[in-house]
Amino acid sequence: MIAGAFTGLAGGLYAVMENRSPRTSSTDQVRRAGVHDVIGGIYTFAGPVVGAAVFVVLNSYLVAWTENWALVLGIILLVMVLLLPGGVVGFINEKARGALSKRGWVRKWVFSR
């Protein structure tokens, strides 16, 4: 609920800043935000930020590397969704949970969902 409130506030402020209205907006930005959420991880607050960073870096490298950047980006995103169902941040959390609990630094229940 809190993340949704911040997202709505950010979207409203962005629309005012860019002088956008529903007639001039496109669904491309909404789809891109959804992709950022899926890449980074929807279960964490930092997931969309990490997802946006990964998407921008990956997109800029692929555009410079190949003409078929959209196809390659789509394949990479599909593989990421299949192999990392919790996103990049979820994957990092799982690895940290395993490493820290093996060493006895953190109890299992601290990172439980």
pTM over 0.85: no
Residue 100 pLDDT greater than 50, yes or no = yes
Contact 96, 102 (CB under 8 A): no
Which tokens sit at 21?
């209205």
Work out the number of other CB atoms within 10 angstroms of the CB of residue 60. Answer: 11
Residue 102 pLDDT greater than 50, yes or no = yes
Residue 111 pLDDT greater than 70, yes or no = no
Contact 35, 54 (CB under 8 A): no
pLDDT of 104: 64
pLDDT of 40: 87
Q: Which of the four pLDDT bands, split at 50, 70 and 90, describes residue 47?
A: confident
